[in-house]
């Protein structure tokens, strides 16, 4: 197979030859070929709670509905993702993970499920940092519970978000990191020493930095500054124009640099669906007409309705980063930090043949085609 396009990162006209992996990359020299769409590595989303009206936090969500939700994400250029299970009962979380793993095994679309992200239940119980996670299910870190998640997913829990304020956190982090799991800090009220202990134990990421926080913080010190200042931590951001403001995003990107910054959607079931009421685990959430996802009848955010290609548009508009930088934050960076093999070097020989082909006009991205492992999974009408 062959794709000809303008490499969105290197800004070079290229010819890509591929099967399941890229077999050759050459410069396009033919001057008669003028108008080219962009081609980029397929987008990678490390945090997706649900999509297209489909809740990933239910053990009874049908495989057909999961497949449909994945196809909707393909239309946004997403090629690999970590379905995310949030704080719930032990039985509920384990059941949701088992159902998602079974869907991955059974569905052709399941190739896009790279693994799973468990966000909680070992987070802060405090109002603010806890966010929309149910307080009755928050509990201390437990390695045996983690092993139960791995038992029902074939060892595919790849990312775990924890608050390091628990005394058990450093030992828990060390145990997971020894098994190759990425541990992130999130939904936390931790102090400086607790954050430093977590990083020394092996935590490498801040989950949706700037969110899952108290409404009022001390000027300094506080856990946002501590994470921004810690060079050993990468950070991911929900860039929907709702979760964090432009000023914070600009400052955070300067602190982390493009090389340690990642775009995620944190999408929940209402993403890609019409305004209305939807399920998130054992809770109900509303998608408002202005694209906010909130706990039903409240104003507290509960995930987002963000599409992956829109996060690239938004970060360029809000911060002035270039298209190559924005695409890197949605492709190579999550692959590297999330330890997703075959996706960390971009459009080079030997990498997986995951591509998104898109056009761009007046800052708006139009996804034309999405390819996963050399198979086209979406084509615009």
> In angstroms, what is the C-alpha Rg of the chain?
20
Any idea of the CA torsion for 380, 237, 154, 283, to the nearest 10 degrees? Answer: -90
Contacts of 25 (CB under 8 A, 6+ apart): 14, 15, 16, 17, 347, 348, 349
Catalytic residue among 266, 290, 291, 354: 266
Smallest Cα–Cα separation from 7: which of 35, 37, 33, 29?
Answer: 37
CA 12 to chain centre: 27
Smallest Cα–Cα separation from 76: which of 311, 332, 273, 278?
Answer: 311
> What is the distance between the alpha carbons of residues 227 and 196, in angstroms, rounded to a whole number?
9
Specify the pairing of strand 13-18 against strand 43-48: unpaired
Q: Write the CA distances from 68 to 53, 75, 128, 207, integer angstroms.
A: 10, 11, 33, 27
Smallest Cα–Cα separation from 285: which of 270, 273, 306, 263?
Answer: 270
> What is the distance between the alpha carbons of residues 278 and 293, in angstroms, rounded to a whole number?
9
Is residue 58 a contact partner of residue 98, using CB atoms and an 8 Å limit?
A: no
Using the CB atoms, write b or e for 325-341: b if 16+ within 10 Å.
bbbbbbbbbbbbbbbbe
Is residue 235 a contact partner of residue 262, using CB atoms and an 8 Å limit?
A: yes
Task: Report cis status (omega within 30 of 0) of the bond before 121.
Answer: yes
> What is the distance between the alpha carbons of residues 119 and 84, in angstroms, rounded to a whole number?
7
> What is the distance between the alpha carbons of residues 308 and 370, in angstroms, rounded to a whole number?
13
* Token digits of residue 143: 């390695």
Q: In what order do the strands lie in the sheet with 375-379?
A: 22-27, 13-18, 2-7, 38-41, 355-361, 364-372, 375-379
Catalytic site residue 236? Answer: no
Q: Which residues are catalytic?
A: 266
């Amino acid at each position: 197979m062959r794709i000809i396009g303008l490499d969105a990162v290197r800004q070079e006209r290229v010819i890509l030859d591929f099967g399941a992996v890229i077999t050759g990359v050459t410069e396009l020299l033919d001057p008669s070929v003028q108008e080219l769409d962009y081609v980029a590595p397929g987008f990678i989303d490390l945090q997706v709670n649900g999509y297209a009206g489909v809740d990933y936090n239910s053990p009874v969500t049908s495989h057909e509905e999961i497949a449909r939700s994945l196809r909707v994400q393909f239309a946004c250029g997403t090629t690999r993702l970590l379905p995310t299970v949030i704080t719930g009962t032990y039985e509920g979380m384990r059941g949701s993970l088992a159902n998602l793993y079974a869907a991955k095994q059974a569905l052709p679309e399941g190739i896009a499920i790279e693994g799973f992200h468990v966000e909680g239940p070992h987070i802060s119980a405090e109002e603010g940092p806890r966010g929309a996670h149910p307080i009755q299910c928050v509990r201390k870190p437990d390695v045996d519970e983690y092993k139960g998640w791995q038992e029902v997913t074939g060892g595919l829990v790849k990312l775990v978000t924890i608050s390091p304020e628990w005394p058990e956190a450093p030992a828990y982090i060390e145990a997971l990191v020894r098994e190759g799991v990425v541990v992130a800090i999130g939904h936390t009220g931790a102090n400086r020493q607790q954050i430093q202990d977590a990083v020394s134990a092996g935590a490498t990421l801040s989950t949706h930095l700037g969110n899952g926080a108290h409404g009022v913080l001390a000027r300094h010190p506080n856990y946002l500054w501590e994470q921004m200042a810690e060079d050993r931590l990468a950070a991911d951001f929900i860039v929907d124009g709702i979760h964090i403001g432009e000023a914070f995003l600009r400052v955070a990107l300067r602190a982390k640099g493009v090389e340690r910054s990642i775009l995620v959607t944190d999408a929940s079931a209402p993403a890609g669906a019409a305004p209305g009421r939807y399920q998130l685990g054992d809770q109900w959430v509303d998608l408002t007409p202005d694209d906010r996802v909130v706990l039903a009848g409240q104003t507290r955010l509960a995930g987002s309705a963000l599409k992956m290609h829109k996060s690239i548009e938004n970060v360029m508009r809000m911060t002035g980063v270039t298209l190559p930088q924005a695409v890197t934050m949605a492709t190579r960076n999550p692959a590297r930090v999330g330890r997703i093999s075959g996706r960390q070097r971009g459009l080079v020989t030997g990498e997986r043949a995951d591509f998104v082909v898109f056009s761009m006009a007046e800052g708006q991205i139009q996804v034309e085609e999405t390819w996963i492992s050399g198979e086209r999974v979406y084509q615009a009408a």
